[in-house]
Amino acid sequence: MPYHKRQYSPGKLQFITASTYRRAPLFLSERFCRCFVETLAEARQATQFLLIGWVLMPDHFHLLIKPEPAETTTLIVQRLKSRTATRVLKLLRDNQEHPWCQKMLARLVLPPSVHDESHYRAWQRRFYPFSIHSEKKRLEKLDYMHNNPVKRGLASSPGEWAWSSWRGRAGVSISCRMRLCSRWIGWSERDKDLSLREIADTTMQASAPAGDTGKFFNALF
């Protein structure tokens, strides 16, 4: 299949969509969600792009960004996907005594026909950019992102979903989340309940989808 280099319009917003390999629901794990948020913040610091909005779903994410220069769009997405993949796969391999980790690893195994140094893949190789040329389209994409969890039945309103920019736009910035992320990469069972209460109190985030508290709260390993 021939490779076609993407062309990005200077000064335009980019709406990005990327999905996990085989649509594995990796981000049902709160630990992995926090890993993603931490990596997103690191990518912003490294490449200095403007983050307009974002949402992380169990098997995909959307970003609305303004990269400067526009050609750094691919670099930004590659950095985010590569670094989250490294962390997620390591955590899965290191915790294979847990059935959910075994199940996810089995789903992420590459077929023999794929010649790759790695035996696993966390993200689909391609991502899908869409250039935003108007204020109407910008608002449309933000609304689409923030309502995605509602449409998927994961929350009854955008504010109930912790893993998006909706609460940041309502006055709670991503930096509030980041103050707690370093603790959560390697949390202990002893600290779990305290950390969840602290997160709820500090960031005002809803920590579970409506009607599904047990599945989301009980980090899967």
**Chain segment 91-141, per-residue pLDDT in tens:** 999 999 999 999 999 999 998 877 666 789 999 999 999 999 999 999 999
Do 124 and 77 form a contact (C-beta atoms < 8 A)? Answer: no
The pLDDT value recorded for residue 192 is 32
Cα-flanking dihedrals φ and ψ of residue 114, to 5°? -95, 120
The pLDDT value recorded for residue 211 is 35
* Residue 21 pLDDT grade (very low, low, confident, very high; cuts 50, 70, 90): very high
Domain 13-157 in CATH 3.20.20.140: no
CA 3 and chain centroid, separation: 26
- Is residue 19 predicted with pLDDT exceeding 90? yes
* Residue 16 pLDDT grade (very low, low, confident, very high; cuts 50, 70, 90): very high
Tell me the C-alpha distance between 146 and 63, whole Å. 11
